[in-house]
Amino acid sequence: MFGTQSKRDLPLEFQSQIPILRPSIHARRANLTVKFQDLYGFTVEGNVDDVNVLNEVREKVRQQGREWWSLEANKGANWYLQTSISEGNLKSSLKFSALGNSITLKRLIRKGIPPVLRPKVWFSLSGAAKKKSTVPESYYDDLIKATEGKVTPATRQIDHDLPRTFPGHPWLDTPEGHAALRRVLVGYSFRDSDVGYCQGLNYVAALLLLVMKTEEDAFWMLAVLLENVLVNDCYTNNLSGCHVEQRVVKEFLDKKCPRIAAHLEAMEFDVSLVATEWFLCLFSKSLPSETTLRVWDVLFYEGAKVLFHVALAIFKMKEDQLLITHHVGDVISILQRTTHHLFDPDELLTVAFDKIGSMTTNTISKQRKKQEPAVMKELDQRIRRLNSLKLDEK
């Protein structure tokens, strides 16, 4: 099922089929924990209620698929690319059509892109196709050949992390899966030496490999993600961009969820204890894969603001439970249990966009600029302390 057609073509058969999950009669009667595979091959543990939720979600996916196919039949195969209305010489009717497409597309993407269309839609709308078109056709193959046999701190860390990336997955945790993931990560580490490799990227790249049609397309999706979609310096050595994002999350938590923020602050709970992994792995280690990919649907179209919406939504969904906690460990346990069992993406995204309220890209950018000086000062002080300790040891 997860084998490849050729060295670098990745399978999609498992995406096109959406099976109904049927727990045994014994599991239904006893409400026992059951194990099953999701659409992308991950083993999921849950109770029968979770299975029922997943079946409902998969029925929604089928309905979404019918809506997308209907639009393709009526508007053309690439209708979603005709959403730009910036050209001044467009006729009014064409502008209206483009605007209509844009509104329709935003609504559809928030409801989820059908798995079979996801590779094509992501690659087009994210800017990955445009980025790939700016280099020679052989760019990726040439890059992989040029990096073969080279050893760097990045390649050593990648080799260390490969077997720890989604262990037990029927394709990723095989020699073939490891080799494909290694090529993507090593290739990008040479493309951008400032980023090189950062732990967290292995999970992101692995999920991209499962979604995209080819290894090369997964590479370009990773490139557009790091170079255009996410904040700068999120994955550089000092993780300064990631530190900034954590401070911005805390600022928005104060504004959007003041009761939760005040309670957590009284407990001296640091939001980064959970949010660092959320942002570095883009929720791929925390949420079920099908829910993660629904978040990524929005990420590749609307940008990184969705990460803040989702982070705050997770806190908001468990507000009542969080407000009666007394220990930091209890907060972490509640949030981890919540994310691991968020099998219904609509439940999460409804809270993220309807209950959290507006957070524009411009507002987030202003908050980032506000937080950057404090982060850089803190990192500078950390370096000074480390250097001082080294001098003392000598």
User: Token digits for 44?
Assistant: 């999921």
pTM above 0.85, yes or no: yes
SS3 annotation, 177-236: HHHHHHHHHHHHHHHCCCCCCCCCHHHHHHHHHHHCCEHHHHHHHHHHHHHHHCCCCCCC
- Decide: helix, strand or coil at residue 267: coil
Angle between helices 240-256 and 305-317 (to 10 degrees): 50
Q: How far is CA 67 from the centre of its chain?
A: 24
User: Token digits for 54?
Assistant: 């997943």
Beta bridge partners of 209: none
Run means of pLDDT, 10 residues per run, the chain, 394 residues: 44 48 49 82 86 87 90 84 52 49 87 94 95 97 97 97 97 97 98 93 98 96 96 88 95 97 96 96 96 98 96 98 97 96 95 94 94 91 75 61
Q: Which amino acid is at 235?
A: Y
Using left for φ > 0, alpha for ψ between -120 and 50, and beta otherwise, residue 303 falls in left
Report the alpha-carbon distance of residue 204 to residue 185 in Å, rounded: 10
Beta bridge partners of 46: 34
pLDDT score, position 9: 53
In the chain, the domains with their CATH numbers are 240-393 (1.10.472.80)
Q: Are 205 and 154 in contact (CB under 8 A)?
A: no
Give backbone dihedrals phi and psi of 21, rounded to 5 degrees, phi first. Answer: -85, 130
pLDDT score, position 104: 84
Report which of 269, 252, 281 is spatially closest to residue 330, judged by C-alpha positions: 269
